Amino acid sequence: MASNVSSNSRPSVMSTKIVIAGGFGAGKTTLVGSVSEIPPVTTEAVMTEASIAHDDVSSTPDKVTTTVAMDFGRLTLDEELIMYMFGTPGQARFWFMWDDLVRGAVGAVVVVDARRLADCFDAIDYFEKNQNIPYIIALNRFDGEREYTVEQIREAVEVGPDVPIIEFDARDRLSSGSVLKQLLKYTLSRPEQPELVG
């Protein structure tokens, strides 16, 4: 008797969560927005005189909004894998949210503005202390500006040779997508591979 089992069974879809972190104005929201296949969910608020008093806007004079909770986006990598992106707020006064935002993440991207390296130190320190979350560093080019070599930046931020540092343009979909692919490649190459959610 012929089997009634369908040969059209679809593969199960897996999902993974990653975190986009970094300093104030480094390009986190722009990265999420450039690659998300859905309109990104953002918690951008207009910067007030009070926030400008706390946040250094000297390198980003045109910045008029800032993330106050998180950014969220989604990217389907193939028919079996969906990536959910959670962008953290960059200001110190919102860091209390980070533990909740990174829970369950398989990896993180620390977005760095090479013009303001000190702004990324706290994010790097966070992931260095939480070594169960692998991270890579993504240098946002900002119109091609780069005063330092990758190795000079590696030395300045004090990360080992095992942490990938790549250059990209957060406004460009392909460039941002290459950052996310690099992160997944890096996390899967580690001895303890991340567990994807079914």
Residue 5 lies in a domain: no
Structure tokens given for 114: 């090479």
pLDDT of 193 reads 57
Distance of alpha carbon 59 from alpha carbon 82, whole angstroms: 35
Q: In the structure, what pLDDT confidence band is assigned to residue 176 with cuts at 50, 70 and 90?
A: very high
| Of 133 and 69, the one with more pLDDT | 133
Q: Is residue 108 part of a domain?
A: yes
Indicate whether 95 pLDDT > 50. Answer: yes
Residue 181 lies in a domain: yes
User: Could you give the CA distance from residue 166 to residue 163 in angstroms, rounded to a whole number?
Assistant: 10
Report the chain's terminal Cα–Cα distance, integer Å. 34
Confidence at 178, pLDDT banded by 50, 70, 90: very high
Residues in Cβ contact with 108 at an 8 Å cutoff, skipping those fewer than 6 apart: 18, 19, 20, 21, 102, 127, 133, 134, 135, 136, 183
Cβ atoms of residues 100 and 12 within 8 Å = no
Domain total of the chain: 1
Residue 89 included in any domain: yes
Residue 166 domain flag: yes
What CATH number is given to the structural domain containing 57?
3.40.50.300
Rounded to 5°, the CA angle 13-19-25 comes to 140
Work out the percent of the chain whose per-residue pLDDT is above 70: 72
Distance CA 33, CA 96 (A): 24
* pLDDT exceeds 80 at position 92: no
Q: What is the pLDDT, as a whole number, of residue 135?
A: 97
Whether residue 78 is contained in a domain is answered as yes
Average pLDDT of the chain is 80
- Using pLDDT thresholds of 50, 70 and 90, give the confidence band for residue 25: confident
Position 101 pLDDT exceeds 90: no
CA 36 to chain centre: 12
Answer yes or no: is 56 within a domain.
yes
Q: Assess if residue 72 is contained within a domain.
A: yes
Mean pLDDT for the stretch of residues 99-122: 91
pLDDT for res 24: 83
Sheet with 165-168, edge to edge strand ranges: 71-78, 81-87, 14-22, 107-113, 135-140, 165-168
Euclidean distance between CA atoms 179 and 19, whole angstroms: 12
Task: Please compute the mean of the pLDDT values over residues 149-157 and round it to a whole number.
Answer: 92
Contact between residue 38 and residue 73 where contact means Cβ atoms under 8 Å apart: yes
- Residue 52's domain spans which residues? 14-189
Q: How confident is the model at residue 149 (pLDDT cuts 50, 70, 90)?
A: confident
pLDDT reported for residue 145: 61
